[in-house]
Amino acid sequence: MLNHWDNPLGTIERGYAGSSLWKWYELPEVIDQRYIDYARANASIGINAVVLNNVNASARFLTKEYIVKVKALADVFRPYGIKVFLSLNFAAPKLLGGAKNSDPMAPEVRNWWKNVTKDIYSAIPDFGGYLVKANSEGEPGPQDFGRTHADGANMLAEAIAPYKGIVIWRAFVYAADPKGDRFKEAYKDFKPLDGTFASNVLVQVKNGPIDFQSREPFHPLFGAMPKTPLAMEFQLTQEYLGFSTNLVYEAPLFKECLESDTYSNGKGSTVAKIVDGSVDNHSLTAMAGVANTGSDRNWTGHLMSQANWYAFGRLAWNHSLSSEQIASEWIKMTLTQEPKAVTTIQDLMIKSREIYVDFTTPLGLHHVMGQNIHFGPEPWLEKSARPDWTAIYYHRADSVGLGFDRTAQGSNALGLYSKEVQALWGNPETCPLPYLLWFHHVSWNKKLSSGKTLWNEFASRYYEGVKSVEWMQKQWNSVQSSIDPQIFADVSGRLAAQHREALNWRDACVLYFQQYSKQPIPTQYQVPTRTLDEMKEIVRIYQLK
């Protein structure tokens, strides 16, 4: 399933490839050829469901005006085996129907949803169902009335059950608690509800516990709700991966999560096997990807980002495929079949995600990007509308060290995992470096498994990350003769932009965290020529509307 975060006026939340594909003001009368092209592309990689609108949903999509527009798209997609779904606004009975409120236990509210659902299925007999973001980031939901997420989901499930539709309820919820740990919030809300959801409800869980960071540990809900089918939610659009200027092949990120062992039902209970239903014997399964498509001629802004759309579809049906195999398939169908060029581009793609992590958030650092637009570095962010939207909430830098202590001595978020997983990540001496700062506050002088102190390893990652982008540029230049000239030039320009952005990340983060470590930059690297104040001004300008 692709989740489109598209809005009625044609904008896309976290969209970096132009405007929405859906021309709502032309529908249903005008059927754009791209709708057909889009359906064919999805069918070719096994995507059989599409949510047309943003999870921060406008109630307008449930009106008769829009149902006929949705029907027009459903008619286009049907021959390609694709069902349409809608994100809904939980307050719609009040906003559209004049109800006193949207309490899921109120008879008039329940009847309103039954009537709207009947209208939809009268127009679209094979309508897939509803996707719901509720009581999250200001969106309305059942908790507004003292009800649970299960109460809200089951009300909708009852309305849609006669038509064999499903409800997909997102688990992306977190209370604003300055003394808490956002890592734990979804688990706290949903774990007690295991087994209380209707049989036609899927709970959709993001791959990690925070928000699509460039690297996250797998979400602790995977393995914690055996009585409830859990859908995976990945993000194809590169909200935290450099928008459309950065080349980041996401298959290794997907695989890293899917192959993580939860140990929920013994060794081998991987996230993938929980999502595909095999661990807990669920037949209702789904994998969702937040779409990276838009109106740009090449669909995804950065042409190389098409590979993420392709990889998502391939892994949704066969999670045993390797990142290398998927990359090779895509390169040969999209760029070139010249053997040496294929090998070079494949190597570049496979390494690209780790390179991005190195020059942005190495060693498990997370959530230090620019506020609001989530572009560029802003590790100094101290104030926001919520404490857990700041950077300092996550990195916890001080004169002693860096990182969020999630052990029993800290927030104990580690306690949400099995004992085997706790053993893997719980000891700072043996915790894999990619997850170190996710779970431990580590001294600047602590010697790591790499042989370097935390500060020296941390600073080195930023510098080597920039060098690696330069390596990516050289690798791409080496295949020029095998690539279409327009494609080659476009990707070359974006790699140059990525290099500029990598320098910004390096200088901003190294200079900022150096204030706490009070240690020199390793001698083999040049001290940044820009000051921290200059970097803060660059980032401030990024944020201007």
Q: Which sequence positions are flagged as catalytic? A: 137, 211, 239
Angle at 98 between CA 28 and CA 53, to 5 degrees: 35
Rounded CA separation 292/309 (Å): 7
Q: Which residues contact 381 (CB under 8 A, 6 or more apart)?
A: 368, 371, 390, 391, 392
Residue 454 C-alpha from the chain's centroid: 28
Would you state the structure tokens that stand for residue 284, as one six-digit string?
A: 């209702």
Q: Backbone phi, then psi, for 194, in 5-degree steps?
A: -60, 130
Residue 363 C-alpha from the chain's centroid: 19
Rounded CA separation 178/126 (Å): 45
Residue in 120, 98, 93 with CA at minimum distance from that of residue 109: 93
H or E element in which residue 316 lies: helix 306-317
293 contacts 38 by C-beta, under 8 angstroms:
yes
E-strand stretches of 146-274:
166-170, 201-206, 230-235
- DSSP sequence for 432-478: -GGGHHHH--EETT-B-TTSSBHHHHHHHHHHHHHHHHHHHHHHHHT
**Do you know the residue count of the chain?**
545
Angle at 211 between CA 83 and CA 284, to 5 degrees: 35
Q: Which residues pair with 289 in a beta bridge?
A: 2, 234
Residue 270 C-alpha from the chain's centroid: 19
Rounded CA separation 338/176 (Å): 53
Q: Is 132 helix (H, G, I), strand (E, B) or coil?
A: strand
